Amino acid sequence: MLVIVGNCTVNYEGRAASKLTWGERVLIIKTDGSVLIHRRSGYEPVNWQPPKCQFRVTLEEGKLLSIVATRRKPRESLRLLFDDITVALALTLADEGEFAMHVTEEQMKQAIIVEPSLVEAGLKLISEERKMGDSGFTDVYAEDSQGRLVVVEIKRNAATRDAALQLNRYVETLRKRVNRPVRGILAAPDLKPGTSTLLAKLGYDFKAVSPEKCFQILKPRTDTRLSEFLQ
Amino acid sequence: MLVIVGNCTVNYEGRAASKLTWGERVLIIKTDGSVLIHRRSGYEPVNWQPPKCQFRVTLEEGKLLSIVATRRKPRESLRLLFDDITVALALTLADEGEFAMHVTEEQMKQAIIVEPSLVEAGLKLISEERKMGDSGFTDVYAEDSQGRLVVVEIKRNAATRDAALQLNRYVETLRKRVNRPVRGILAAPDLKPGTSTLLAKLGYDFKAVSPEKCFQILKPRTDTRLSEFLQ
């Protein structure tokens, strides 16, 4: 992995084109062939390329003159021209670390509210919770693409038979009250042994919802970015 | 601006939570208080914070021990614990460079096809082009939120009176053929003197569409990212 700090100019050509005039920046080239060019402010890189770039480096009298990173599909190129290098680091990073995301059941619920398609395409939220008599509160109360009511029970860890029975109580309570088909969906990262069989017997669905998916929705990288540009 | 390479562990807590176990990474803290933590591969940072973080740094016997970056709204914190620093750079980057994007007329058209709301909220594309008798081809042929036909004429630079007259020929041709209201919209970064008056006289609209907006749409940062997670 390379980290180069220096005075450079950058030209991108591909689906559009950009030109960054001279200035000091930090260039990062990663082991997978991705490229980042960072200015002193802004958490987004000013130019970047995804992995699998091919590189062409030009030296003049042993001095770095230019780096051209190209990709196909789409055909694009990023050309950096240097006239002064402050620091150049060639790093071998020992990193076998694991990245784990943790979301609470409440945060999973918030993610599903923001993006009901996590549970099922076409699902529409009716309300966050609905009191089910003495059975307690459902997690998410929704309507599917065919207009059927849907009770979603969310579990943070692998769901047990108890979770399936809890879902069953909500659905049974609701069925007594409304004159429409009611479905039950158990949304969890996984199922404990025996839960799948019980769910099938009760006629309910399981949807694997991972903490990773919820994390992406709860902390999206491009918060307000596109919306800024779209007025 | 700081660039620190070292063995670290990272904990994030906020709208969700994440934990990155020990490994060597590159930490960047920018002048605006944004934070990036990069691993050896992947063009996305593994952890990051947008600008305006507040920092608390702990040293032990002159050695960097931890950095905590916090933000409010939403309340979140990123905690880095170090046990070994390979390189630490404090950089003052001289950078008054300008970043300019260039898009061709064809690329602007592609951006508008992908995102018709660039021109007007609720606009729906009917076709990319439509032959208008001897007048040539419209750039974009669409329908507005009230069901009226819309001819969009796109110009890459400040639009001239000629562009308004060209739009007028397309609209006039179309009006002879269909039994529905037809609108004309001139989409360009700006208008040359006199064009605005002529457009108003002809009853057409102008919509400022900048190369920047088109660039963002043509080269989105999060290509397939969310969709990957939403299957």
In this complex, the residue of A25, A43, A212 whose CB is nearest that of residue B95 is A25
The DSSP element (H or E) to which B68 belongs, if any, is strand B63-71
Rounded average pLDDT over A2-11: 97
3 state DSSP class of A182: strand
Higher pLDDT, A129 or A152: A152
Q: Which of B27, B31, B38 to mutate to test the interface with A (most CBs of A within 10 A)?
A: B38
Residue with tokens 């980057």: B93
| Residue of A21, A32, A215 lying closest to B41 (CB–CB) | A32
pLDDT for the residue B230: 38
The whole-angstrom distance between A132's CA and the closest CA on chain B is 28
| E strand or H helix that includes residue B105 | helix B105-114
Q: In chain A, which residue's Cα lies nearest the Cα of B17?
A: A102
Q: Kindly state the percentage of chain B with pLDDT values over 90.
A: 66
B127-144 tens-digit pLDDT? 777 777 676 777 889 999
The C-alpha of B188 sits at a distance from chain A's nearest C-alpha, in angstroms, of 15
Query: What's the pLDDT at A162?
Result: 96
pLDDT of residue A73: 79
pLDDT for the residue B211? 80
What is the reported pLDDT for B222? 45
Task: Write out the E strands in A46-98.
Answer: 47-49, 54-60, 63-71, 76-90
- Percent of chain A predicted with pLDDT > 90: 66
- Render pLDDT for A187-208 as a digit per residue (tens, 0 to 9): 999 999 999 999 999 999 999 9
Q: What is the CA radius of gyration of chain B?
A: 26
Contact B93 A50 (CB under 8 A): no
Q: B211: which chain A residues are within 8 Å (Cβ-Cβ)? A: 16
What's the whole-number mean pLDDT along residues A41-67? 93
Residue among A168, A110, A208 nearest B229 (CA): A208
Least confident of A216-225, B167-176, B212-221: A216-225
CA nearest to B104 within chain A: A16
Which positions in chain A touch B100 (Cβ < 8 Å)?
18-21
Nearest CA to CA, how far is B202 from chain A (Å)? 26
Q: Distance between CA atoms of A40 and B95, rounded to whole angstroms?
A: 8
- Nearest by CB to residue A91, choosing from B1, B5, B117, is B5
B148 versus B129: the higher-pLDDT residue is B148
The answer to whether B2 and B89 have CB atoms below 8 angstroms apart is yes
Cis peptide before A74 (omega within 30 of 0): yes
Mean pLDDT of B145-162: 93
Could you give the CA distance from residue A153 to residue A163 in angstroms, rounded to a whole number? Answer: 8
CB pairs under 8 A between A and B: 215
pTM of the model: 0.72
Per-residue confidence at B215, pLDDT binned at 50, 70, 90? confident
Two structure tokens written together for A141:
């109360």
Q: Report the chain B residue with the minimal C-alpha distance to residue A116.
A: B230
> Cβ contacts (< 8 Å) between B5 and chain A: which residues?
3, 89, 91, 93
